[in-house]
A and B are shown apart, each in its own frame.
Chain A
Amino acid sequence: MTSRLRRSRRHILSAFATLVAFALAIVTIIPFLWMFDSSFAPTSVILGDADSLFPRPTTRDNYANIQSQFDFGRLFVNSFVVSSIRTVLIVYISALFGFVFAKFRFRGRDAVFVLLIATMMVPWPVLMLPLSDMMIRFQWVDTYVALIVPELVSAAGIFLFRQAMRAVPDQLLDSARIDGAGDARIFHSIMLPMCRNTVCALAILTFLASWDAYLWPYLMITNPRKQMLAVGLQQFSNQHGTDYGGMFAATSLAVLPMVVIYALFQRRFIEGMYDSVN
């Protein structure tokens, strides 16, 4: 009798806690819901004295207009291509050095690693000025090389892979060596596949960071047709700041790729993040 009472009390508590958690989650994502909903309303309705907080979706014009008004598709593709190239390179390089720092022994390894981690502490504004001066002198301004090359080595990425690769048993590498596999072979056919989760986690974080990048592309890219989407959004907002319908539509679309990528790789991403903490 008492145990059944306790169980039903547990059920009520569980339902209540779940309700509270979902209520909090809804509050958290209200800005998305509001923006997405409003992106289907004409600007006059968004600005008007609407009775409801969420305008009724009535039109798809906003989405049609952003292409003709600021060449949205072009900027989207630019961002997608540059972010993809950066992601592939950074993940590969991080995995490579994660392997080196996790599985090789050499004099000063730990000192070098600590030094590398210390570069994470260097504020970006300190590096930014000399780097932009360098880009001008290398004549990389207005090329995607300037967006890709200066940040290829990611200390955080190397750290993530080092953590994951230390967990790979040494016996596995030993037996591969006995079978005649070289280091490059071991890296490509054992380490990388075994660290799939970390690859996913770092890939998502890197893609997000590239998709996010604002000031550096703004400074480096002068040709508007080569510009990144984040910068384009901000410039569009400066020029057509009152076309809220268009801005809502463009921003909704700018958020979308990350959500899709996360939805596709969610499980591995979470696993990869968890692995990095152990």
Chain B
Amino acid sequence: MTRSDASRPTPARSGTQSHDVASGLGARARRLFTFRRCALTLLAAYCAVFFVYPIGRAFVGALQHWNPATGEAYWIGLANFRRIFADPLFWSSCGRTLVYALGATGLRLIIGLALALLLSSKLIHGRNALRSLFFLPSLTPIVAVALMWGWMFDPGFGLVDRLFGLTTGWLHDPVLAGPTFIGLTVWKDFGYAMLLYLAALLNVPRDLVDAAHVDGAGALQTFRYVTLPAIRPMTWYLAVVSLIGYLQMYVPIIVLTSGGPGDATTTVGYLIYRQAYKLFDFGTASAMGVVMLAVCAAIAAVLLRLTKRGEGERR
């Protein structure tokens, strides 16, 4: 998606050159210089305060006994990490979070792509209306989505149970609660994936598809060998963004189940929230956050490398 523009002429450079050349243009050149420098200085200052410092503080906090309620913050080395790695709840939460993230990411991409393919077909009428309808869940606030799903799957009056004549408490069942959360997440997010896939499909070179038809390729073959490779960068992008987003999921859990029944819906994100804001144990929570950051960084690095390799193959 990003391409180098090294070959393009750059007006900004000509601006800075005039700074050296003529003093008559000096005032204007200085103004040019100031605009850019101001912008970058502000950006650097802001990022230092609101990105760099907090990340650094989180790493330091992971090595501290840190309780903002009492104001305590003192060095305890790796004790926080030892504690969380010895905690079976942390490991089981990691497993659940991973299953949830992989499941939701996979379904989101598959449904998003399938609908994008459907809506890019000339056979369908009313494609704009359909696109808006499918995008509706993505426009809904997550708290509203969570509440709606809570009601839809309510054992007493929920539409799902009534429709199928069940009295299943989906969110109160240790086995069904996880998949219900995956369904909730995919329902909210597939529309966005669909939209981005629709955009990516517009960019598939038309002549390539035509050439495939001329060579006698069927619809499936064209999809497999032309369309799919052409939209691969979008797939990677969506996979990275979805995985990293879902690995930290906690809002619907706070709204609906508070991690229960038992620990059945306790994710790492929820564990961090509970450790920090119920127990005010910021140290242990930070240690879990650092582990989460490491996992996210590893996933991003691996997927980026795969993307690069994929691009190399095609050239």
**A 77-119 to B, binary, CB cutoff 8 A, 1 in contact else 0:** 0000000000000000000110010011110000010001001
**B 48-84 to A, binary, CB cutoff 8 A, 1 in contact else 0:** 0011011101100100000010000000000000000
Q: How far is the CB of A174 from chain B (nearest CB, A)?
A: 5
Cβ–Cβ contact A125 & B135, under 8 A = no
Provide the residues of chain B in CB contact with A22, threshold 8 Å. Answer: 126, 130
Cβ–Cβ contact A183 & B147, under 8 A = no
Provide the residues of chain B in CB contact with A248, threshold 8 Å. Answer: 151
A182 part of interface (Cβ distance < 8 Å) = yes
**A 227-261 to B, binary, CB cutoff 8 A, 1 in contact else 0:** 00011011001000000100110010011001100
Cβ–Cβ contact A273 & B68, under 8 A = no
Most chain A CB inside 10 Å of its own CB: which residue of B126, B144, B152, B202: B144
Q: How far is the CB of B203 from chain A (nearest CB, A)?
A: 6
B141 part of interface (Cβ distance < 8 Å) = yes
- Given A123-B293, A126-B290, A233-B147, do A170 and B134 touch, yes or no (CB 8 Å)? no
Of B11-19, B170-178, B216-224, the one contacting chain A is B11-19
A168 to B24, CA, bound (A): 29
- Given A133-B68, A274-B199, do A14 and B142 touch, yes or no (CB 8 Å)? no
Beta-carbon nearest neighbor of A162 in chain B: B2
Cβ–Cβ contact A31 & B55, under 8 A = no
- Given A47-B156, A105-B13, A123-B289, do A130 and B133 touch, yes or no (CB 8 Å)? no
Q: How far is the CB of B7 from chain A (nearest CB, A)?
A: 12
A145 part of interface (Cβ distance < 8 Å) = no
Q: How far is the CB of B204 from chain A (nearest CB, A)?
A: 11
Cβ–Cβ contact A182 & B54, under 8 A = no
A255 to B144, CA, bound (A): 7
B269 part of interface (Cβ distance < 8 Å) = yes
Q: Of A53, A104, A127, A262, which contacts B135 at CB under 8 A? A: A262
Cβ–Cβ contact A152 & B136, under 8 A = no
Q: How far is the CB of A217 from chain B (nearest CB, A)?
A: 11
- Given A123-B247, A124-B248, A170-B10, do A131 and B200 touch, yes or no (CB 8 Å)? no
Beta-carbon nearest neighbor of A231 in chain B: B143
Chain A stretch 7-49: residues in CB contact (< 8 A) with chain B: 10, 13-14, 17-18, 21-22, 24-26, 28-32, 34-35, 46-47
B225 part of interface (Cβ distance < 8 Å) = no
Cβ–Cβ contact A244 & B157, under 8 A = yes
Q: How far is the CB of B64 from chain A (nearest CB, A)?
A: 11
Chain B stretch 118-154: residues in CB contact (< 8 A) with chain A: 118-119, 121, 123-126, 130-137, 139-144, 147-149, 151-152
Cβ–Cβ contact A278 & B203, under 8 A = yes
Cβ–Cβ contact A127 & B203, under 8 A = no
Number of residues in B with C-beta < 8 Å to the partner?
95
Cβ–Cβ contact A103 & B12, under 8 A = yes
Provide the residues of chain A in CB contact with B289, threshold 8 Å. Answer: 123, 125-126, 129
A219 part of interface (Cβ distance < 8 Å) = yes
Q: How far is the CB of B131 from chain A (nearest CB, A)?
A: 8
A64 part of interface (Cβ distance < 8 Å) = no
Q: How far is the CB of B235 from chain A (nearest CB, A)?
A: 12
Q: How far is the CB of A6 from chain B (nearest CB, A)?
A: 14
- Given A25-B134, A153-B50, do A129 and B61 touch, yes or no (CB 8 Å)? yes
Provide the residues of chain B in CB contact with A128, threshold 8 Å. Answer: 276
A31 to B159, CA, bound (A): 8
Number of residues in A with C-beta < 8 Å to the partner?
89
Cβ–Cβ contact B121 & A17, under 8 A = yes
B94 part of interface (Cβ distance < 8 Å) = no
A258 to B11, CA, bound (A): 40
Provide the residues of chain A in CB contact with B135, threshold 8 Å. Answer: 262
Cβ–Cβ contact A122 & B196, under 8 A = no
Provide the residues of chain B in CB contact with A237, threshold 8 Å. Answer: 147, 255
A11 to B252, CA, bound (A): 44
Q: How far is the CB of A208 from chain B (nearest CB, A)?
A: 6
- Given A28-B137, A34-B152, A174-B11, do A277 and B143 touch, yes or no (CB 8 Å)? no
Provide the residues of chain A in CB contact with B285, threshold 8 Å. Answer: 125, 129
A174 to B11, CA, bound (A): 6
A38 to B124, CA, bound (A): 32
Cβ–Cβ contact B11 & A173, under 8 A = yes
Beta-carbon nearest neighbor of A25 in chain B: B133
Cβ–Cβ contact B293 & A122, under 8 A = yes
**B 68-104 to A, binary, CB cutoff 8 A, 1 in contact else 0:** 1000000000000000000000000000000000000
**A 180-216 to B, binary, CB cutoff 8 A, 1 in contact else 0:** 1011100000000000000000000000100110110
Chain A stretch 42-62: residues in CB contact (< 8 A) with chain B: 46-47, 53
Cross-chain pairs A/B with CB under 8 angstroms, 10 sampled? A47-B157, A112-B40, A127-B54, A127-B58, A153-B51, A215-B273, A234-B143, A251-B144, A251-B148, A262-B132
Beyond A126-B286, A177-B15, 7 extra complex contacts between A and B, CB < 8 Å: A14-B125, A17-B118, A153-B50, A211-B141, A212-B142, A231-B143, A277-B202
Residues of A within 8 A of B (CB): 10, 13-14, 17-18, 21-22, 24-26, 28-32, 34-35, 46-47, 53, 96-97, 100, 103-106, 112, 116, 119-134, 136, 149-153, 163, 166, 170, 173-174, 177, 180, 182-184, 208, 211-212, 214-215, 219, 230-231, 233-234, 237, 244, 247-248, 251, 254-255, 258-259, 262-263, 266, 270, 273-274, 276-278
